[in-house]
């Protein structure tokens, strides 16, 4: 224990990389330096099964966790929507190895499929009732001033171009082709709400309330996206 504390302080390693565990509510996940430490606000929304936006959780039969990292949100989605087959996508083969371990720890291999893909590139023809994503969203200037602890996380899990919107732009463009009628897109975007609304003035974003306020996670349905 003392050794963990010493390394946390002296090496400024995030504690979950030392203990190899991170928690979202009651759910424990294995983590190491191949993945970002789970902390998505979407976890809070899944605890409520995305109500009231999802009226009947049992009616959700397909879901996508885009940019899955450790697989944490895909696993929470599988619990929130027990009738859903979930695809969990990441570009990083290393991250998918961690996700595989977590999916196996929860015995969800039948319900959650791990797919290596550059965003939607390998998902042709697949459609979902619900797409979630906590993509990279740190802009270039913030990347320059990250505290040491964040620098221990994979850069590919954080950086998203000059304005932090590189990934979300692709997600907004591609998601409609991958959503069923009435399907929902829920995306976390960090501190980029103003930049996003400026970039997409015609999209009627619904901002979801989490413990961090109503600036960080938006929801759109397929009809609003098209
Ligand atoms: C902010 S992390 C989120 C991880 C996890 N969903 C969570 O909430 O803890 C973003 C993830 O996106 C992945 N990623 C980055 N670029 C990607 C791309 N072009 N296509 C798919 N995944 C990508 C990274 O490898 C990383 O695992």
Q: 141 C-alpha vs ligand 1 centroid, how far in Å?
A: 20
From the options 3.10.20.30, 3.20.20.110, 3.40.50.150, 1.10.1740.10, give the CATH code of 40-225.
Answer: 3.40.50.150
């002296």: which residue's tokens? 10
Residue minimizing CA distance to atom 9 of ligand 1 = 38
Q: 67 C-alpha vs ligand 1 centroid, how far in Å?
A: 3
pLDDT in tens, 92-113: 999 999 999 999 999 999 999 9
């270039």: which residue's tokens? 140
Q: 34 C-alpha vs ligand 1 centroid, how far in Å?
A: 11
To the question of pTM greater than 0.95 for the whole model, the response is: yes
Ligand 1 atom closest to the Cα of residue 90 is 22
Q: Kindly tell me if the per-residue pLDDT of 2 is higher than 90.
A: no
Residue minimizing CA distance to atom 12 of ligand 1 = 67
Angle between helices 72-80 and 93-105 (to 10 degrees): 40
Q: Are the CB atoms for 175 and 67 separated by under 8 Å?
A: no
Report the share of the chain in percent with pLDDT over 70.
100
Domain locations along the chain: 40-225
The pLDDT of 196-217, averaged and rounded, is 97
Higher-scoring residue by pLDDT: 188, 12: 188
157, 165, 173: residue to mutate for ligand 1 pocket, most atoms within 8 A of CB: 157
pLDDT in tens, 120-147: 999 999 999 999 999 999 999 999 999 9
Q: 78 C-alpha vs ligand 1 centroid, how far in Å?
A: 18
The three-class DSSP label of residue 184 is strand
Q: 89 C-alpha vs ligand 1 centroid, how far in Å?
A: 8
């009628």: which residue's tokens? 181
Q: Are the CB atoms for 200 and 207 separated by under 8 Å?
A: no
């Amino acid at each position: 224990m003392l050794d963990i504390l010493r390394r946390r302080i002296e090496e400024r390693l995030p504690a979950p990389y030392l203990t190899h565990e991170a928690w979202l509510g009651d759910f424990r996940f294995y983590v190491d330096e191949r993945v970002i430490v789970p902390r998505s606000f979407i976890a809070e929304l899944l605890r409520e099964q995305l109500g009231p936006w999802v009226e009947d959780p049992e009616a959700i039969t397909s879901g996508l966790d885009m940019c899955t990292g450790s697989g944490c949100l895909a696993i929470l989605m599988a619990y929130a929507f027990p009738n859903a087959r979930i695809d969990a996508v990441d570009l990083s083969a290393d991250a998918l190895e961690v996700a595989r371990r977590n999916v196996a720890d929860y015995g969800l291999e039948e319900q959650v499929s791990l797919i290596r893909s550059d965003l939607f590139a390998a998902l042709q023809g697949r459609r979902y009732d619900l797409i979630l994503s906590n993509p990279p969203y740190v802009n270039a200037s913030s990347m320059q001033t990250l505290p040491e602890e964040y620098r221990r996380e994979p850069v590919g899990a954080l950086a998203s171009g000059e304005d932090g919107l590189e990934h979300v732009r692709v997600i907004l463009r591609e998601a409609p082709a991958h959503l069923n009628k009435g399907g929902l897109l829920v995306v976390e975007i960090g501190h980029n709400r103003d930049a996003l609304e400026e970039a997409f003035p015609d999209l009627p974003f619904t901002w979801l309330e989490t413990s961090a306020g109503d600036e960080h996670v938006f929801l759109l349905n397929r009809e609003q996206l098209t």
